[in-house]
Amino acid sequence: MKLDYLDELEAEAIYILREVAGQFEKPALLFSGGKDSITLVRLAEKAFRPGKFPFPLVHIDTGHNFTETIEYRDKMIKRIGEKLIIGHVQDSIDEGKVVEQKGKNASRNALQTITLLDTIAKYGFDACIGGARRDEEKARAKERIFSVRDEFGQWDPKRQRPELWNIFNGKIHKGENVRVFPISNWTELDVWNYIRREKIELPSIYFAHEREVITRNGQLMAASPFLNMDDEDIVEKRNVRFRTVGDMTCTAAVESYACQIDDIIDEISESKISERGARMDDKVSEAAMEDRKKGGYF
Amino acid sequence: MDILKFLTAGSVDDGKSTLIGRLLYDSESILADQLEALHRSNRKNDDGSIDLAILTDGLKAEREQGITIDVAYKYFQTDKRKFIIADTPGHIQYTRNMVTGASNANLAIILIDARKGVIEQTIRHSYLVSLLGIQQVVVCINKMDMVEYSEATYETIVNDYKALAYKVGLKNIKYIPVSALKGDNIVYPSSHMKWYEGESLLAFLENVELAVDDSKAHARFPVQWVVRPQTEELHDYRGYAGRVSSGSFKVNDKVTVLPSGFHSTIEKIELLDKEPTEAFAGMSVTIHLKDEIDISRGDVLVNTEYQPEISQLIEADLCWMDTRALDTSHTYFIQHNSKTTRCRIQEILYKVNINTLEKEFNEDFKLNDIGRIIIKTAEPLAFDPYQSNKANGGAIIIDSRTNVTVGALMLRGVAE
């Protein structure tokens, strides 16, 4: 007997979540409000119900959110009855730990690394579960499922532990922590197919809607008070949807009329742009992601 | 649709990255922006065509050195199957990476340069594939374009390889003559090699049925976590959460809890709101037993009729993965399924020279060394021999000083 691919991916992710519960003292699940972390919540329900999650959810809030995401988050927390901890990037700015970027392409995306590391230190988390996938980007293709970070949150590609069979070594020294990626082996399409199969509700911005956007560097950005705009920026209404949900200033939309999940799956199956292609922050240089990872970003 | 995980073994010069790149490129698994980055890059082949190897070379350090230094995972799918590729390097100093990649693969592609034939590294790769118990091998004889697509050259290499396969104990081997650079027999059949009538590499990967079915092995269920809500309405709820590592469990099956040896019967199997009557290899479920027994993480439920070995003194094959050599006086941790306990390597029986397959008898056991040892564990392990049950026969060694994974163990049996 062989499992269907979605069942196999699901079983593997549940297994990884239970390993986190079994091996760590103070784990946390990093929740961004995006479809990947929403999928993780569903998987955690499968892993631990009818018990409580053995970890809180942690949201690193840049303050530049889509309102739809925050509404979704609060509603979901109410439904699942689990604890939510919020780390505010604004607090890091107010405390002078980070300085807001200037200029037209200013974004808080890079700043959230500091807030994340501070939140990890404040609560003493020894494992942070995240929804990153290896198919997203080349540097992530080499990422372990249990990825050890030093006390500065740094990732050293040469120091990663070999991962054999399904045995995950979660032993760490004080001050270190582990990032855990239960859906490492999923592709974007797998996540969508799973969401459809499980009938998981998503924030509405994933579906096509009319929105005011501006075109910048060839990409459609949601017009918002958080985006530094000048006279050259022309605001226009377009039918769009978002493929990832992040900080409003660096998450680009794609033109789309896909209102139903079936339409989205069709679109992605035929799509010619990878998901991270819609993230402006990765475009800066080919090694952008790797540099950010070394600094403690996901 | 199912998932096939495969490993590619070969050195930089064999064109391994080019082969994977070609597989992705010709099966249209590369998206527009990735393609654009590919075209933007100034790395080109001698004839001016794009260098497909870039697709799999991930990290900056590697791009600078021009080599792959770790295991990278790539994903693609066709209408028939989903594929996960573990791309591991072929240099001798990276044996540990190949062992890592091989531990999770059901199939291995071994690349041979048609100009060179079976060489030392082919022996090494084949030995490791056999040691890690990979059940299906595809030998790709690459760079056929450089030997004028000669059938005689191909046949010579196939015959040489057959002798090697016999020596290392590999069965289920498929031979395919290819040119990754030109695209012959990777996705599309080659027009240059009409004498080859078999499938292209992709067609073979799509259609191959694996010989071993984990769900037919003896039933093993390592307990990872005990679900105990302890709420008013679920006061007596006690479920054992884990993933069936091999075999299958059905409701009413008689099970034994190891290492304690208590017996019970399966009352119920759960997966959130579903109650399947059977859970087979690969499924993550929660199992309820009819009797109240003290069970915790690290214990394993097994089918009472077919029990595994239980011992604290075990003979095993070991691959050492750390720059600090094995120290037989040091106490390490061993992690086997959900159980972690202390251990010591009691005796090194011999090492294997993986280039010549000869046994060596010297005391040091260093990075990338492989050999047979006897391990003593602080608590008994319930295990099966690795070659008959991978899922319950593999274990890792962790250095208690650094917490790093330093060894891979393929358990063989109770030491005499």
Indicate the length of chain A as a whole number.
Answer: 298
Instruction: Please judge whether A274 and B34 are an interchain contact, meaning their C-beta atoms are less than 8 angstroms apart.
Output: yes
Please answer whether residues B129 and B9 qualify as being in contact, where contact means their C-beta atoms are separated by less than 8 angstroms: yes
ipTM of the complex: 0.92
E strand intervals along chain A = 27-30, 57-61, 84-88, 127-129, 146-149, 177-180, 209-216, 219-222, 236-242, 252-255
Please answer whether residues B168 and B126 qualify as being in contact, where contact means their C-beta atoms are separated by less than 8 angstroms: yes
Please answer whether residues A160 and B70 qualify as being in contact, where contact means their C-beta atoms are separated by less than 8 angstroms: yes
Mean pLDDT of chain B: 89
| Distance from C-alpha of A159 to C-alpha of B411, rounded to nearest angstrom | 26
Indicate if the pLDDT at residue B62 is higher than 70: no
Domain ranges of chain B: 2-212, 215-303, 309-414
Is residue A196 domain-resident?
Answer: no
Please answer whether residues B17 and B52 qualify as being in contact, where contact means their C-beta atoms are separated by less than 8 angstroms: yes
What is the nearest CA distance from B59 to chain A, expressed in angstroms? 6
List of chain A residues whose C-beta atoms are within 8 Å of the C-beta of residue B241:
18, 47-48
Please answer whether residues A221 and A252 qualify as being in contact, where contact means their C-beta atoms are separated by less than 8 angstroms: yes
Is residue A111 domain-resident?
Answer: yes
Judge residue A99's burial from the number of C-beta atoms within 10 Å of its C-beta, 0-12 exposed, 13-18 middle, 19 or more buried.
exposed
| Distance from C-alpha of A42 to C-alpha of A40, rounded to nearest angstrom | 5
User: Would you place residue B32 in the very low, low, confident or very high pLDDT band (cuts 50, 70, 90)?
Assistant: low
Instruction: Please judge whether B224 and A8 are an interchain contact, meaning their C-beta atoms are less than 8 angstroms apart.
Output: no
Reading the block at residue B238, the tokens are 């006690």
Is residue A222 domain-resident?
Answer: yes
Q: What proportion of chain B, given as a percentage, has pLDDT over 90?
A: 69
The 3-state DSSP class for residue A52 equals coil
The CATH code of domain B215-303 reads 2.40.30.10
Cross-strand pairs, B297: B299
Instruction: Please judge whether B272 and A49 are an interchain contact, meaning their C-beta atoms are less than 8 angstroms apart.
Output: yes
Instruction: Please judge whether A7 and B336 are an interchain contact, meaning their C-beta atoms are less than 8 angstroms apart.
Output: no
Instruction: Please judge whether B31 and A277 are an interchain contact, meaning their C-beta atoms are less than 8 angstroms apart.
Output: yes
Indicate if the pLDDT at residue B36 is higher than 90: no
The 3-state DSSP class for residue A176 equals coil
> Which of B238, B398, B405, B410 to probe the A interface (max A CBs under 10 A)?
B405
Instruction: Please judge whether A7 and B283 are an interchain contact, meaning their C-beta atoms are less than 8 angstroms apart.
Output: yes
> Which of A42, A52, A134, A164 to probe the B interface (max B CBs under 10 A)?
A164
Instruction: Please judge whether A164 and B99 are an interchain contact, meaning their C-beta atoms are less than 8 angstroms apart.
Output: yes
| Distance from C-alpha of A163 to C-alpha of A160, rounded to nearest angstrom | 9
Smallest CA–CA distance from B221 into chain A, residue: A15
Instruction: Please judge whether B395 and A167 are an interchain contact, meaning their C-beta atoms are less than 8 angstroms apart.
Output: yes
Report, as ranges of residue numbers, the positions in chain A whose pLDDT lies below 50.
276, 278-287, 290, 292
Is residue A147 domain-resident?
Answer: yes
Q: Domain B309-414 maps to which CATH number in 1.10.1270.20, 2.40.30.10, 3.90.78.10, 3.40.190.10?
A: 2.40.30.10
Reading the block at residue A99, the tokens are 């300085």
Instruction: Please judge whether A5 and B404 are an interchain contact, meaning their C-beta atoms are less than 8 angstroms apart.
Output: no
Same fold, B2-212 and B215-303: no
Q: Which of B33, B84, B281 sits opposite A185 (nearest CB)?
A: B84
List of chain A residues whose C-beta atoms are within 8 Å of the C-beta of residue B84:
185
Indicate if the pLDDT at residue B348 is higher than 50: yes
| Distance from C-alpha of A257 to C-alpha of A207, rounded to nearest angstrom | 8
Q: Which of A10, A158, A274 sits opposite B31 (nearest CB)?
A: A274
What is the nearest CA distance from B217 to chain A, expressed in angstroms? 11
User: Would you place residue B57 in the very low, low, confident or very high pLDDT band (cuts 50, 70, 90)?
Assistant: low
| Distance from C-alpha of B55 to C-alpha of A223, rounded to nearest angstrom | 35
What is the nearest CA distance from B19 to chain A, expressed in angstroms? 17
Q: Which amino acid is present at B120?
A: E
List of chain A residues whose C-beta atoms are within 8 Å of the C-beta of residue B224:
15, 18-19, 21-22
Average pLDDT value for residue range B43-61: 62
Please answer whether residues A46 and B272 qualify as being in contact, where contact means their C-beta atoms are separated by less than 8 angstroms: yes
- Eight-state DSSP code of residue A233: -
List of chain B residues whose C-beta atoms are within 8 Å of the C-beta of residue A54:
225
Instruction: Please judge whether B73 and A139 are an interchain contact, meaning their C-beta atoms are less than 8 angstroms apart.
Output: no
Question: To which residue do tokens 């260093």 refer?
Answer: B366
Cα–Cα distances (Å) from A171 to A25, A78, A216, B310, B334, in that order, read 11, 34, 45, 25, 12
| Distance from C-alpha of A29 to C-alpha of B235, rounded to nearest angstrom | 27
The sign of the torsion formed by the CA atoms of B356, B361, B364, B369 equals positive
| Distance from C-alpha of B385 to C-alpha of B394, rounded to nearest angstrom | 9
Q: Which of A134, A274, A290 sits opposite B59 (nearest CB)?
A: A290
**Chain centre to alpha carbon of residue A285:** 20
Reading the block at residue A248, the tokens are 């409003």
Instruction: Please judge whether B284 and A271 are an interchain contact, meaning their C-beta atoms are less than 8 angstroms apart.
Output: no
Is residue A43 domain-resident?
Answer: yes
Same domain, A9 and A98: yes
Q: Closest by alpha carbon to B139, among B174, B168, B184, B185? A: B174
Helices (H) and strands (E) in chain B, counts: 7, 21
Q: Which of B60, B100, B227 sits opposite A48 (nearest CB)?
A: B227
Indicate if the pLDDT at residue B90 is higher than 70: no
Q: Closest by alpha carbon to B7, among B96, B138, B119? A: B138
Name the packing angle between helices A5-23 and A35-48 (round to 10°): 70
| Distance from C-alpha of B343 to C-alpha of B397, rounded to nearest angstrom | 8
Model confidence pLDDT, tens digit, residues B129-162: 999 999 899 999 999 999 999 999 999 999 999 9
Smallest CA–CA distance from A282 into chain B, residue: B33
| Distance from C-alpha of A227 to C-alpha of B166, rounded to nearest angstrom | 66
- Does the bond joining A50 to the residue before it have cis omega, within 30 degrees of 0? yes
What's the structural domain count of chain A?
2
E strand intervals along B88-230 = 107-113, 136-142, 173-177, 220-227
Topology of the domain comprising B2-212? Rossmann fold (3.40.50)
Kind plus residue range of the DSSP H or E element containing B99: helix B95-103
* pLDDT score recorded for residue B394: 97
Q: Which of A1, A11, A51 sits opposite B227 (nearest CB)?
A: A51
| Distance from C-alpha of A192 to C-alpha of A271, rounded to nearest angstrom | 14
Q: Where are the alpha helices (DSSP H) in A147-260?
A: 188-198
Same domain, A257 and A154: no
List of chain A residues whose C-beta atoms are within 8 Å of the C-beta of residue B128:
none
Same domain, A90 and A25: yes
What is the nearest CA distance from A91 to chain B, expressed in angstroms? 33
Kind plus residue range of the DSSP H or E element containing B205: helix B201-207
Q: Closest by alpha carbon to A233, among A220, A246, A248? A: A220
What is the nearest CA distance from B152 to chain A, expressed in angstroms? 39
Strands of the sheet with A146-149, listed across from one edge: A84-88, A57-61, A27-30, A127-129, A177-180, A146-149
Q: Which amino acid is present at B189?
A: P
List of chain B residues whose C-beta atoms are within 8 Å of the C-beta of residue A138:
57-59, 72
Q: How many CB atoms lie within 10 A of CB A294?
A: 17
Same domain, A97 and A67: yes
Same domain, A147 and A210: no
Indicate if the pLDDT at residue B99 is higher than 50: yes
Q: Which amino acid is present at B137?
A: V
Q: Closest by alpha carbon to B70, among A186, A155, A169, A129? A: A155
Indicate if the pLDDT at residue B115 is higher than 50: yes
Q: What residues make up the domain containing A56?
A: 5-190+287-294
Model confidence pLDDT, tens digit, residues B208-240: 988 677 888 899 999 999 999 988 888 889 999
| Distance from C-alpha of A140 to C-alpha of A134, rounded to nearest angstrom | 5
User: Would you place residue B373 in the very low, low, confident or very high pLDDT band (cuts 50, 70, 90)?
Assistant: very high
Please answer whether residues B400 and B331 qualify as being in contact, where contact means their C-beta atoms are separated by less than 8 angstroms: yes
Question: To which residue do tokens 């980007």 refer?
Answer: A137
Instruction: Please judge whether B2 and A2 are an interchain contact, meaning their C-beta atoms are less than 8 angstroms apart.
Output: yes
List of chain A residues whose C-beta atoms are within 8 Å of the C-beta of residue B297:
22
Instruction: Please judge whether A273 and B31 are an interchain contact, meaning their C-beta atoms are less than 8 angstroms apart.
Output: yes
List of chain B residues whose C-beta atoms are within 8 Å of the C-beta of residue A150:
none
The sign of the torsion formed by the CA atoms of B231, A13, A135, A243 equals negative
Domain of residue A33, CATH code: 3.40.50.620
Q: What angle do CA B78, B138, B44 make, to 5 degrees?
A: 70
Same domain, A112 and A49: yes
Q: Which amino acid is present at B263?
A: H
Lowest mean pLDDT among A80-94, B57-71, B174-188: B57-71
| Distance from C-alpha of B90 to C-alpha of B189, rounded to nearest angstrom | 27
Model confidence pLDDT, tens digit, residues B252-303: 999 999 999 999 999 999 999 899 999 999 999 999 999 999 999 999 999 9
| Distance from C-alpha of A34 to C-alpha of A56, rounded to nearest angstrom | 17
What is the nearest CA distance from B365 to chain A, expressed in angstroms? 18
Same domain, A174 and A97: yes
The 3-state DSSP class for residue A11 equals helix
Q: Closest by alpha carbon to A200, among A37, A9, A39, A72? A: A39
Question: To which residue do tokens 């929804």 refer?
Answer: A131
What is the nearest CA distance from B272 to chain A, expressed in angstroms? 5
| Distance from C-alpha of B24 to C-alpha of B42, rounded to nearest angstrom | 20
Indicate if the pLDDT at residue B5 is higher than 70: yes
Q: Are strands A177-180 and A127-129 parallel, antiparallel or unpaired?
A: parallel
Is residue A197 domain-resident?
Answer: no
Reading the block at residue B316, the tokens are 């095993």
> Which of B40, B225, B273 to probe the A interface (max A CBs under 10 A)?
B225
- Does the bond joining B259 to the residue before it have cis omega, within 30 degrees of 0? yes
List of chain B residues whose C-beta atoms are within 8 Å of the C-beta of residue A172:
403
